[in-house]
Amino acid sequence: MPSHQEKMIHHFPRRIILVRHGESEVNEDEGILEHVPNHKIKLIKKGAEQARATGRMIKEIVSEEEAWKVLFYVSPSNRTRETMEEIISRGGTFEKNRIVGVREECRLREQHFGNFQDLEERRKIKRSRVRYGKFFYRVPEGESSADVYDRVSSFLEGLWRDMESNKFGNEMNLIVVSHGLTILLFLMKWFNWTINQFEELANPANCEYRVLELGPDGEYSLASYHQIDELKKWGLSDEMIEDQIIRARGLQPFLDRKCLVAPTDDSASDDSLGYYFDEK
């Protein structure tokens, strides 16, 4: 008879995929922020192409299961909504019967930098943030990363309640279309990363995605889909990578086998999960 944990896992989404929006008008002309509100910034042609390509890659991932479904959460900004639309329809990627719904979620919005933004002042703020520390630095008339962390945490607490109350199924894939910093803070909260660990993370590129996949113990991991070299490139430490591997494999293999610390030697090239375990 299945245990309570096994029953719970059966109702958890198979994957949570975090997608940053495609390239926008700011990539072509940052000065546009002086006269166009941040949330009204639109995708450019290259950004739309990026979104369609990402949509095709995501479909390959989620369609491994025969009865797969997707549910989208999207930031209310124009560029995130347009990214989602390119992923869903204009790329011809997802059939309507596969899409359970689309939910606009204000708590997934971009860090607020104030209203109309003077270009030189914006550059000065970014330099100051690097010196001060990007988590605690508060943008004048705007938000700190800590503020964004709090609202992302609120969103995740609601999501966890939905998961625990069986509102999803194991055939479900949640796709979150948001912003670079918001995605990093989502991961920080989900995996209980420290502020120091957060400070070392690299921002996702436009339309880059992070796949959290459900493991055998009901834990989600980046290491189930992504290669170890990718995790290193994104700024995860050896300790963080080891934790991702345990989440992907389940705790028992870690208890049964001697877990090796990820090497710091850049010459190491084995990307498989088995590299971190003594298989003897």
Q: What is the DSSP letter of 24?
A: B
Under a CB-based contact definition with an 8 Å cutoff, are residues 197 and 7 in contact?
Answer: no
The residue from 86, 110, 143, 213 that is catalytic is: 110
Q: What is the DSSP letter of 218?
A: S
The reply to whether 224 sits in an annotated binding site is no
How many CB atoms within 10 Å of residue 8?
14
The residue from 21, 105, 179, 219 that is catalytic is: 21
200 is catalytic: no
Alpha helices (H) in the chain, listed in sequence order:
4-10, 25-28, 45-62, 78-85, 119-132, 145-164, 180-191, 195-199, 228-233, 238-249, 251-256
Which tokens is 249 given? 């494999």
The reply to whether 21 sits in an annotated binding site is yes
The reply to whether 249 sits in an annotated binding site is no
Sheet with 172-178, edge to edge strand ranges? 99-104, 69-74, 172-178, 15-20, 209-214, 220-221
The reply to whether 25 sits in an annotated binding site is yes
End-to-end, the C-alpha distance of the chain in Å comes to 32
105 is catalytic: no
Q: Give the phi and the psi of residue 211 in degrees, each rounded to 5.
A: -105, 115
Distance CA 112, CA 203 (A): 17
The reply to whether 24 sits in an annotated binding site is yes
DSSP line for 54-116? HHHHHHHHHTTSTT-EEEEEE-SSHHHHHHHHIIIIIT--S-GGGEEEEEE-GGGPPPP--SS
Fill in the amino acid letter for 42. K
- Which amino acids are annotated as binding site, given as ranges? 20-27, 79
Residue ranges for the known binding site for substrate are 20-27, 79
- Known catalytic residues are 21, 110
